[in-house]
Structure 1
Amino acid sequence: MSFQIEVCIDNIESLPIAISGGATRIELCSSLALGGLTPSAGFIRQAVKVSTIPIYVMIRPRQGDFFYNEEEIQIMASDIELAGSLGADGIVIGLLREDGSIDVNNLAPLLSIAKQFELGVTFHRAFDQASDPKTALENIISLQCERLLTSGLAPSAELGLDNIEKLVNQANDRISIMAGAGVTPNNVLSIIRHTGVNEVHLSGKSTRQSNMKYITENAKMGANGLDDYAIPVTDESVIIALQKQLTTHN
């Protein structure tokens, strides 16, 4: 079986690291610490220019819930057009109604824009906050999304194994189910064996120290407790180790 390893990144430095480690697809974001937001036009353009594997762009205009107002949906439409015009391979998106159901009415026109640019579509972990997962999956399939990223409605994929397995069975090859959240080299084999998924999603996050020679603690740029001089980057060794585990399974 061929396995897909999707790595989410939020800076260009991480792109060649993820690819070198064995990633087969990239989820391109800003602000991974917030769960991933829409990346800038410059970031998309550069990533598409240098990447040797597919680039899927996160379409999420803000942090917080996935219940969006009309202005936010207009922003998402513009961002999908931008991603398509810059040569991205796909988008990652998710919308819910206030009752926790899939917002089919607003998703349909957004996905129509994606189709115009021949963009693939991943429905992201907004699904894990859905009130009725069985119906939600059918809605997502009806929208012709390529795949669903899910932790099985749990804090991590490892804790949501049984639900992921149920989703795989319900999907019955009509859509790919991709396990994500807390996927590591140590648990990836148990996840794929238990659930039957052939796609996994992770960040392999680490940090490196700044190359600044002058360091000051007088002015804070981020939230208290965060190191303004720590640069988040993908840890190549994590991606390599996970890829080796999957190769062993084959």
Structure 2
Amino acid sequence: MSVLIEVCIDSLESLPIAQTAGAGRIELCSSLATGGLTASAGYMKQAARVANIPVYAIIRPREGDFLFSSADIEIMLEDIHIAKQAGLNGVVIGALRADGKIDDVAVKAMIKVASGMGITFHRAIDHCSAPFEALEFLMTHGVERVLTSGLAKRADEGINTLKDMVRLTQGRLSIMPGAGVSPDNAKRIITETGANEIHLSGKTTRPSLMSYRNEKATMGSGESDFAITVTNPEIIKQTVLALQ
């Protein structure tokens, strides 16, 4: 069985690295450190220009939970439209109600705007109070796949739930394990769950090319502005080999 490897990235620099290393699809994000946020319009356009594999843009306007306000939803609908206009292949969406059930109204609206694009439902499923009910809803509304850790912190800790999800959805929707995936556990996750695609970042850092550095001033919560997050091609290659 051939296994597709999806790599999530948060810079254009990482896109050719990931695809050359063996990625079969890209999840386009900004800010992987916060779980992935929506890419800018310019980033989307450039990704569509340089990619030779499918690129799906995550549609997530802020970090934190998946209970979105009406203003958040309007932003997300506009971002889906921008992703479509940029020429991307699909979008990665999700929204929940306060009771933890899927926000069917918001998700239906996003699916409608994304018409003609591929659709992945993201790890909002792992915060869902009725995940199997949500899967039934997503299967009846044309969603291609669900990215999930099996409701656990890491996919290798959620194998039993992932297996149940694959059993329920087989042939109607793809279950894509993600979170904590590495070359060391990818084969086990795929073998034990029966999934046929898997998701990871495989990220590392590279040193900044700046010759002048003011180490006292930092942006955000990171320790340094001179360590740049990029995809590590060796992690992707090793994962490809592990799954062969």
Q: TM-score, normalised by structure 2?
A: 0.98
Instruction: Report the equivalent of 2:165.
Output: 167
- Unpaired segments of 5 or more residues in structure 1? none
Structure 1 CA distance for aligned equivalents of residues 218 and 3 of structure 2: 42
Provide Cα deviations, 1:159-214, integer angstroms capped at 9, x if missing partner: 00000000001113210000100111111111011000000000001000101001
Q: How many residues align?
A: 244
Instruction: Report the equivalent of 1:67.
Output: 67
Return the offset for 1:132. Answer: 1.4
Structure 2 CA distance for aligned equivalents of residues 142 and 69 of structure 1: 25
SS in 2 for 1:149: strand
Q: Is the 8 A contact 2:123 2:147 kept in 1?
A: yes
Structure 2 CA distance for aligned equivalents of residues 27 and 14 of structure 1: 11
* Residue 108 of structure 2 is aligned to residue 108 of structure 1: yes
Instruction: Report the equivalent of 2:127.
Output: 129
Provide Cα deviations, 1:17-57, integer angstroms capped at 9, x if missing partner: 10111000000000000000000011111110010000100
Report which stretch shifted further, 17-26 or 214-223.
Answer: 214-223
* Residue 19 of structure 2 is aligned to residue 22 of structure 1: no
Structure 1 CA distance for aligned equivalents of residues 76 and 223 of structure 2: 29
Instruction: Report the equivalent of 1:52.
Output: 52
- Unpaired segments of 5 or more residues in structure 2? none
% identical aligned pairs: 51
* Residue 231 of structure 2 is aligned to residue 234 of structure 1: yes
Instruction: Report the equivalent of 1:91.
Output: 91
Provide Cα deviations, 1:43-80, integer angstroms capped at 9, x if missing partner: 11111001000010010000010010111100001000
Structure 1 CA distance for aligned equivalents of residues 82 and 161 of structure 2: 35
Query: Which residue identity does 1:217 align to in structure 2?
Result: E
SS in 1 for 2:177: strand
SS in 2 for 1:241: helix
Instruction: Report the equivalent of 1:143.
Output: 141
Structure 1 CA distance for aligned equivalents of residues 36 and 209 of structure 2: 25
Q: Is the 8 A contact 2:125 2:131 kept in 1?
A: yes
Q: Is the 8 A contact 2:215 2:224 kept in 1?
A: no
Structure 1 CA distance for aligned equivalents of residues 219 and 177 of structure 2: 34
Structure 1 runs of 4+ with >2 Å offset = none
Return the offset for 1:226. Answer: 2.3
Query: Which residue identity does 1:194 align to in structure 2?
Result: E
Select the residue among 191, 207, 210 that pairs with 2:208: 210
Return the offset for 1:218. Answer: 2.4
Query: Which residue identity does 2:147 align to in structure 1?
Result: L
Provide Cα deviations, 1:126-152, integer angstroms capped at 9, x if missing partner: 000000121111122122100000000
